[in-house]
Amino acid sequence: MLTVVWDVDDVLNDLMYQWFMHEWRVQHPDCVLSYEELTNNPPHEVLGIGCAEYLSSLDLFRKTERARNMSPRPELVPWFHEQGWHFRHIALTARPLETAPDVAHWVMHHFGAWIRCFGVVPTRLGDGVPTYDQTKGEYLRWLGRGDIMVDDSADNIHQAESLGLRTLQLAQPWNDSRLTICDLLHQLSNMADYS
């Protein structure tokens, strides 16, 4: 049985869209950009701000009720019900460690019937916190598991490919993939081992 490694933010959910629409645009009503114009991730340069300001805003949003109660992408839950049992599943996220408990709860609440393993690559570590892995590639090398990686980040996709994983990159404004969630799930279903 193949193991799928799922990115959480902007794959299982639409965190960046939610942040942009319900935090950034609310706090900056003069912003005329559309979500589709966020062609870099992080998008601080597109927004005309420093990276620290962007990260602070995103981290604050991650702690809100809206973020904790985001719905999964609507196409995913039916797919997991119909096809999820053909694979094993791992969630792997890169985010600040202080926000990991909320997203781990979110993953288990929505996908716990299928996703039984949750990993985090902490970003922006505080003093005294050990650094085990700095990238998802390093985490996957250590874990030694995973056959298919689903992510929106070109860097994460390249790291997974260098380890021999097959990859599916979900289209987002900041990458050059054209793979919609429906196309991605169709391709993933075709990779299942039905024997």
Enumerate residues 6+ apart whose C-beta is below 8 A from 124. 55, 96
- Per-residue confidence at 8, pLDDT binned at 50, 70, 90? very high
Sorted by where each begins, the domain ranges of the chain are 3-14+71-191, 15-68
Exposed, middle or buried: residue 117 (CB in 10 Å: 0-12, 13-18, 19+)? Answer: middle
Convert the pLDDT of each residue in 11-58 to its tens digit. Answer: 999 999 999 999 999 999 999 999 999 999 999 999 999 999 999 999
Report whether the peptide linkage leading into residue 42 is cis, meaning its omega lies within 30 degrees of zero: yes
Q: Which band of pLDDT confidence, cut at 50, 70 and 90, is reported for residue 138?
A: very high
Can you read off the two tokens belonging to residue 47? 């927004």
Class of domain 3-14+71-191: alpha beta
Please, are residues 75 and 182 in contact by the beta-carbon 8 Å criterion?
yes
Instruction: Please answer whether residues 152 and 168 qualify as being in contact, where contact means their C-beta atoms are separated by less than 8 angstroms.
Output: no
- What pLDDT, on a 0 to 100 scale, did the predictor assign at position 127? 82
Residue whose C-alpha is closest to residue 43's, from 30, 57, 22, 29: 57
State yes or no: pLDDT of 124 exceeds 90. no
Question: What are the tens digits of pLDDT across the range 75-106?
Answer: 999 999 999 999 999 999 999 999 999 999 99
